[in-house]
Structure 1
Amino acid sequence: MSGFIRFLQTLDYMRIVLGICILVDGYPLIFFFRETLKLAPGSTAFTAAALAGGLVLMVPFTLFRRLYRPNVTMFWMGVGFILLSIFYMYVYMGDPGFKDYTKDMIYYAYVFIFLFLLINIPNDIARVFIPVVILFTLVSNLGLVYSLATNPTWVIGQRATITLGDSDDGSGNPHAFARNAFMGVVACVIWALRPQTGLLFRLISLFSGVLSLAILILTQTRSGILALLIALAFFMFYNVRPAQVRMAVRGIFRPIPIITIILGIVGIVIFFQRFSDTYGILYSYVLAFAERNLENIYALLGLKAKGVAYKATLDASAANRSVSANFLSNVLVGHIYMLILGFGYKYLYLDIPIVEALTNLGVLGFVLFAGVNGMTFYHVQKIMRTNPNPMSTFLAYFYMLIFVMLFTNGRPYEIAFWFPLALMIRFMGVEHLFPAYLSDHPPVKESEQFVVVPNAQSA
């Protein structure tokens, strides 16, 4: 009977985590149902309803009866920033043509409800969190693959995304799919490396992880790829010791590893000879990605590319950030006093969220927004060093994408920031409050400690 009750409890926790996934990473599936399956093309009401459905799935049976402690300092900083944004929206509007009061208030309400529900959710969801994320990202990736395969306007070389509305030029939001892919890679690596993971789920993790990595590359999002490289660097720094590197190098020069490497190289060569189109596709993606980034570097340095007659130019996103940097420079030189209160809510879209928090919401907005992210980064380093449990480890590495986005794309008020940050507020810095059975390194019980008994003969 106890086993059946635990099974039902596990299903309940999986329901809650599914709701969290819809809020944090639901756009790929929403776009799939909305645009690919044509349930509600271009409908923002469908998106809002789907997110509301995620909130409903998150409601625990212990709602209002049991609250769990978040990171209190981060909590008040986050709530303070959102309240400040709402205050500025009604009192100090920077955009005179702004009309989306209702839309923004709905999304702010979603953030508050999400954060409140997280405080009601038990820490025990940690034991099912990673498997649900892996399955959710896998389904989302397969939905994207189906959409690309059935879209006659999509061709190899375009960014992997689902076309929005009636546009036939491949327009969409590749960053949403890059986030899903990034989450998939992180979750799959954590679960595949975990000793307790069974063989079947390990194989599913490997398959899903490889697919997520391929999708991340196909989206051609610099922020996603950069975040993955940073996450990999932190993983190597905290988990790989020099002695392990030396042991691995010595192990390579043994007969079986050498034979395996040779067979692997031969297999790769044969594969690309048999499927030459695959090599061409990979080569074109790498070349296009390199050219696009080199073009931005040339433009920033004022150099020429593709011949003497062609002057390199920045792409749209890089050009916008360059303009934003110039705007901040001009403000610091001639109008620095304006940064005390800022220029007003959504005064200027800078595409650098951490800077926009300062220029639009002033010093207080910057302190609150930067404070939440600074404290999160501090706890991330501790978690990466100790790996207390799979869920906390996942959130730590997932934050690398949010960290990169602080300097590369988006606005500080967007739910793309605040849904993940709400997760960090709820679970970062409170790992010591989790039950011991959720930890990968549970503390030794007093009864399990060794006691040295003096030798009776020596007494």
Structure 2
Amino acid sequence: MRKFLYFLETIDLMRMVLGICILVDGYPLIFFFRETLKLAPGSTVFTAAVFAVGLILMVPFTVLRRLYRPNMTMFWMGLGFITLCIAYMFTYLGDPGFRDYDKDMIYYAYALIFLFLLINIPNDIARVFILVVVLFTFVSNLGLIYSLITNPSWAIGQRATITLGDNDDGSGNPHVFSRNAFMGVVACAIWLIRSDTNILLRIFALFAGVINLAVLVLTQTRSSILALIIAITLFLAFNVRPPQIRAVVRGIFRPVTLGVVALGVVGIALFLRRYYDVYAVLYGYVLGFAERNLDNIYALVGAKAQGAAYKATLDDSAANRSVSALFFSNVVTGHIHMLILGFGYKYLYLDVPVLESLTNMGILGFFLFGGVNAMCLYYALGIMRTNPNQLSVFLAYFYMLIMVAAFTGGRPNEISFWIPLALMTRFMGIEHLFPEYLQEHRHIVYAPAVPATSPTN
């Protein structure tokens, strides 16, 4: 009977985590059902309805009867920024043609309801969180792959995304798919490095992780690639020590390890020989990605990338940020007093959210938006050092993507920021409040253990 009740509790926790995933990472599946399966092409009502379903799934049976403490400093700062945005929207507009009051209020309502429901959700979701994220991101990737295969207008070399619109010229948003892939990579890695992960689950995590990496390459989004590099660097810095490196090196030269490596090399060689086109496609994407970024670097320094007759140019995204930097420089040198209150709600799209929070929302907006992000980074680094539980570890590395986005794309008042930040507000910096049975750092092994040596007299 006790096992059956534990099973029901697990299913209930998974239901709530599924609702969280829909709010944080629901766009890939929404686009799949909306555009690929043609259930509601171009419908924002369908998107809002799916998000509403996610909120309903999050409602615990103890709603309003049991509340859980979030990170209170981040909570009040985040709530303050959203309140400031709403106040500016109705009293201090920077865009004279702004008419999207209802649309923006719906976004803020979703963010606030999401945060309220998170306060009602128990900390016990930590034990099923990674499982649901791995499955959710895997299914989302399958939806993208199916869409690419069945889309006659998509060709190898284009960015992987689901086309929005009914014609071949429809646009897509590869960033939502790269976020999904990044989340999947982090979740799969957590499963793989845990010493107590079942071997079948570990094999599935490896398979799903490879698919996530492939999708990350196919989407060709610089922010996700940079975030992944930062996450890997921080993981190695915090979790790999010289004794562990020596233990790994010793383990590599064991006969069994050498045999497995040899079999792996042979298997990869046979795979590439049989499916060389797959290798060629991924190689082409990586090479094209590198060339495009080098072209931006050449353009910034005024160099010529390909001979005397060719002059490198910035792509649209980099060019927009260059213009934003010039605008901010002009403000600082000639109109610095405008930064006290800012230029008004949505005055100018800078494509650098941290910078836009200052120019549009003033010093207070910059303090609140930048403060929440700074605290997330502070707690993320602490979590990476201690590895207290699966949920906290996932959020710490997931924040690397949000951190990069805060400097490279979007607007500070967008739901794409405040839904993840609300999740981090609820669970980051409060690991000490988790019950003992959720403290799993003792189960996480990142490298072969180094045998202890007995002290000598």
User: What TM-score do you get using the length of structure 1 for normalisation?
Assistant: 0.94
Determine helix, strand or coil for the equivalent of 2:407.
coil
Partner of 1:71: 71
Q: Is the 8 A contact 1:158 1:170 kept in 2?
A: no
- Map of 2:60 onto structure 1: 60
1:197-346 to 2 correspondence within 5 Å? 197-346=197-346
> Which residue of structure 1 aligns with residue 393 of structure 2?
393
**Secondary structure of 2:41's match?**
coil
Q: CA deviation at 1:254?
A: 3.9
Q: Which moved more, 1:144-153 or 1:165-174?
A: 165-174
User: 1:154–1:170: 8 Å Cα contact kept in structure 2?
Assistant: no
Q: Compute the displacement of 1:281 (Å).
A: 1.0
| Counterpart contact for 1:17–1:132, Cα < 8 Å | yes
> Residue 45 of structure 1 corresponds to which residue in structure 2?
45
Taking the aligned partners of 1:113 and 1:87, their CA distance within structure 2 comes to 18
Is the 8 Å Cα contact of residues 71 and 429 (structure 1) preserved in structure 2?
yes
Shift of 1:259: 4.1
TM-aligned CA deviation for residue 385 of structure 1: 0.5
**1:170 positional shift:** 6.2
- 2:347 corresponds in structure 1 to 347
Deviation per residue, 1:83-107 (Å, 9 max, x gap): 0001111111001111100000000
* TM-score, normalised relative to structure 2: 0.95
Q: Which residue pairs with 1:117 in the alignment?
A: 117
For the structure 1 residues 441 and 301, does the alpha-carbon distance in structure 2 shift closer, same or farther, using more than 3 Å as the test?
closer
**Secondary structure of the equivalent of 1:152?**
coil
Which residue of 1 is the match for residue 445 of structure 2?
Answer: none
Query: How many angstroms does 1:441 deviate by?
Result: 4.1
Could you tell me which amino acid in structure 2 is paired with residue 355 of structure 1? L
> Helix, strand or coil for the counterpart of 1:40?
coil
Is the Cα contact below 8 Å between 1:153 and 1:170 reproduced in 2?
Answer: no
Contact 1:64 1:120 in 2 (8 A): yes
- Which residue is 1:452 aligned to? none
User: CA contact under 8 A between 2:239 and 2:385: conserved in structure 1?
Assistant: yes
Match of 1:106 in 2: 106
Distance 2:304 2:91 in 1: 47
Q: Which amino acid aligns with 1:43?
A: S
Q: Which residue number in structure 2 is paired with residue 165 of structure 1? A: 165
Q: Which residue is equivalent to 1:10?
A: 10
**1:192 matched to 2:192:** yes
Give yes or no for the alignment of 1:134 onto 2:134: yes
Please say if residues 162 and 170 of structure 1, whose CA atoms lie closer than 8 Å, have aligned partners that are also in contact: no
Q: Which residue of 2 aligns with 1:30?
A: 30
Out of 245-254 and 2-11, give the one that drifted further.
245-254
CA shift, 1:7, in A, is 1.1
Which residue matches 1:151? 151
CA distance in 1, matches of 2:360, 2:135: 39
Q: CA deviation at 1:4?
A: 1.3
- Note if contact 2:217-2:282 (Cα within 8 Å) is conserved in structure 1: no
Matches within 5 A, 1:82-97: 82-97=82-97
Q: State the shift of 1:267 in Å.
A: 3.2
Distance across 2 between alignment mates of 1:20 and 1:300 = 41
Q: Distance in 2 between matches of 1:38 and 1:344?
A: 39
Aligned match of 1:177: 177
Native 8 Å contact 1:296 1:314 kept in 2: yes
Mapped to 1, the partners of 2:170 and 2:201 lie a distance apart of 35
Shift of 1:278: 2.0
CA contact (8 A) 1:161 1:170 kept: no
Paired with 1:251 and 1:123, the residues of 2 have a C-alpha distance of 38
C-alpha offsets along residues 208-238 of structure 1, whole Å, 9 cap, x if unaligned?
A: 1111111111100000011011000011011
Query: 1:29-57: CA deviations, max 9, x gaps?
Result: 00000000000000111111111110011
SS of residue in 2 equivalent to 1:407: helix
Partner Cα distance (1:123, 1:98) in 2: 41
Distance in 2, Cα, partners of 1:270 & 1:205 = 23
Q: Larger Rg: 1 or 2?
A: 1
Q: In structure 2, what is the Cα distance between the partners aligned to 1:303 and 1:263?
A: 46
Task: Tell me whether 1:431 sits opposite 2:431 in the alignment.
Answer: yes
Unpaired stretches in structure 2, ≥5 consecutive residues: 443-457
| Equivalent position of 2:447 in the other structure | none
Distance 1:299 1:199 in 2: 49
Which range is displaced more, 201-210 or 137-146? 201-210
Contact 2:218 2:282 in 1 (8 A): no
Q: What is the percent sequence identity of the aligned residues?
A: 71
3-state SS of 1:21 partner: helix
Indicate if the aligned counterparts of 1:339 and 1:363 stay in contact, CA closer than 8 A. Answer: yes
Q: Partners in 1 of 2:14 and 2:391 — Cα distance? A: 13
Residue 378 (structure 1) aligned with residue 378 (structure 2)? yes
Letter of the structure 2 residue corresponding to residue 162 of structure 1: I
| Alpha-carbon distance in 2 for matches of 1:254, 1:435 | 41
Provide closer, same or farther for how the CA distance between residues 92 and 120 of structure 1 changes in structure 2, counting only shifts above 3 A: same
Equivalent residue, structure 2, for 1:448: none
**Structure 2 letter corresponding to 1:419:** I
- Is the 2:389–2:438 Cα contact (8 Å) retained in structure 1? yes
